[in-house]
Amino acid sequence: MKVLSALAVASVLALTAVPAVSAVLTPDAGPENGNWTVFFFGGVGSMIEDSSTGDAFWTVTLATSGELHVTDAFVIGDQWDMFVDGVSIGITGSFNLGGSVTSDPNVAFGGDDYSWLSFALAPGTYTITGTTFSSPVGGGGSFIRVVTTDAVIPEPATWAMLIAGFGLVGAAARRRRSGQAVTG
């Protein structure tokens, strides 16, 4: 009888439990214009939370490849250990304590003054979480976003390889044309 009562209580609890929901990160088609989501965090070891929903994790679905971007702003010195599907992808990078203060994530991301992280994502659905690694004032706010790869501006090395490739194709075409003129 006690086993049956315990099973009945467990069944009622399972039926009334609220499933975990998450905030949604919508992939952005243009890294230059933002679409950053604000998150809040507490002291070292605390989970980061969506500023509008309070959720401690986000889901994102990508039809094409993309990149996860996380950046500090406001107070310099905050860092997070970021996770995709429960696996750590690393801690946001180093920062310059003597740097200039900004609340603009487009200025902070990719610079030397604030910690930031960029991580490539293949098409699919992901769960993204993070914990505070360091925080000089014990908490604050910062930014997270996902951009699609076709919106990411290529790095200079990529441009150089692309231009070199076009040059080789052009040289091959010119050689082919001059070879045809001599024999034809």
pLDDT tens digits for 99-157?
A: 888 999 999 999 999 999 999 999 999 999 999 999 999 999 999 999 987 644 555 55
Encoding tokens for residue 56? 């401690």
Residue 175 domain-assigned (yes or no): no
Whole-number pLDDT of residue 7: 39
Whole-number pLDDT of residue 8: 42
pLDDT over 70 percentage in the chain: 67
CATH number of the domain encompassing residue 84: 2.60.120.380
Residue 10 domain-assigned (yes or no): no
Residue 80 domain-assigned (yes or no): yes
CA dist list (Å): 134 to 32, 38, 80, 91: 28, 18, 7, 10
Residue 177 domain-assigned (yes or no): no
Residue 79 three-state SS: strand
Q: Residue 98 — very low, low, confident or very high, per pLDDT cuts 50/70/90? A: confident
User: When comparing pLDDT for 71 and 164, which is higher?
Assistant: 71
Query: 0.75 exceeded by the pTM?
Result: no
39 lies in which domain range?
23-170
Residue 57 domain-assigned (yes or no): yes
**49 pLDDT above the threshold of 60:** yes
Could you tell me if 126 and 60 are in contact, meaning their C-beta atoms sit under 8 angstroms apart? yes
45: phi > 0 → left, psi -120 to 50 → alpha, else beta; which? left
Whole-number pLDDT of residue 21: 59
Residue 1 domain-assigned (yes or no): no
Alpha carbons 147 and 67: distance in angstroms, whole number: 5
Residue 89 domain-assigned (yes or no): yes
pLDDT over 90 percentage in the chain: 55
Q: Which residue, 109, 105, 75, 106, is CA-closest to 92?
A: 109
Average pLDDT, the chain: 80
Domain count within the chain: 1
Q: Residue 163 — very low, low, confident or very high, per pLDDT cuts 50/70/90? A: confident
Region of poorest pLDDT, from 8-17, 50-59, 95-104: 8-17
Cβ contacts of 40 within 8 Å, gap of 6 or more = 48, 49, 51, 139, 140, 141
Residue 132 domain-assigned (yes or no): yes
